[in-house]
Amino acid sequence: MDADFFERLQNITLTADEEIDITVNPNHHTQALEECALSLFGRFLTDKPINIRAAKSLLRSIWKFGNDLKIVEVDDGLLQFRFKLENQLNWVLDKSPWSFDNHMLVLRKWTKGMTPRNVCFTHIPLWVQVWGLPFELLNEEVAQDIRKGLGTVVDIDNTAFYSDQARFLCICVDIPLCFTCGKLGHEMKACHQKTANTGGTEHPYDDWMRAGGKRRNDEGNHRENSPPGRSQPKSGFS
């Protein structure tokens, strides 16, 4: 259903005769909260149609949680990953980012009041390799200084500091997503491609990435997809 339908539906006002009180069993609410607390929500960062069934199947095979994992499509392209244990959920987040057919999977934890219409993906963790540093700068303190210019640091790989191979620093940073140009590294308000809408032109990465809006071109050919896995770190530093 398109966004206009939902907007019209939300603007409907019930009369006093139409309003009714519905009581929800507290036990059912508690059970649902526990299930949601062990959930991640995700969407593939693409405006192209992908084979969701194949993506779900291969993510299962990579994560290897068996029956402890349920993957439910709760809206067009919006997936809910339900785990049995918190450490399973945290493992998936810690190993992020994941990709399928070269399309990155953006993930976020559940928060109370979340619906398919208001799920918002604003950042994605990326591993950045920093090459060519002088030898005296290959230390953890410098890595902390560098990360300030990259964004919000998620993790720093300490391998270069303690192993016998120290060719580069590796830093995991939360990178903002831009819904105007589809590029990483800045938010929409700072996008240089942001122009006045003169002809109703839609941006390829728009509000459908923020919430459960209907995806464009959702009737396309399903291609054979490669298995999902961790996205390769960027090489180089600028």
Nearest Cα neighbor of 45 from 177, 153, 152, 172 is 177
Q: Which of 21-25, 72-76, 206-210 has the lowest mean pLDDT?
A: 206-210
- Using the predicted structure, report yes or no on whether residue 119 has a pLDDT greater than 90: no
In the three-class reduction of DSSP (H, G, I as helix; E, B as strand; rest coil), residue 26 is classed as helix
pLDDT confidence of residue 63? 96
- Using the predicted structure, report yes or no on whether residue 92 has a pLDDT greater than 70: yes
What would the mean pLDDT of 104-113 be, rounded to a whole number? 90
CA 178/CA 187 separation, integer angstroms: 5
More confident residue, 120 or 71: 71
Q: Is this model's pTM higher than 0.75 or not?
A: no
CA 129/CA 140 separation, integer angstroms: 14
CA 42/CA 124 separation, integer angstroms: 11
Beta carbons of 40 and 110 less than 8 angstroms apart: yes
More confident residue, 233 or 67: 67
Beta carbons of 175 and 151 less than 8 angstroms apart: yes
Q: pLDDT above 90 covers what percent of the chain?
A: 23
- Using the predicted structure, report yes or no on whether residue 90 has a pLDDT greater than 90: yes
Token duo for residue 115: 């619906």
Q: Domain ranges in the chain? A: 123-211
Residue-wise over 57-79: b if at least 16 C-beta within 10 A, else e? Answer: ebbeebbebeeebebeeebebbb
pLDDT confidence of residue 216? 43
Token duo for residue 101: 């057919």
What is the bridge-based pairing of β-strands 229-230 and 98-100?
antiparallel
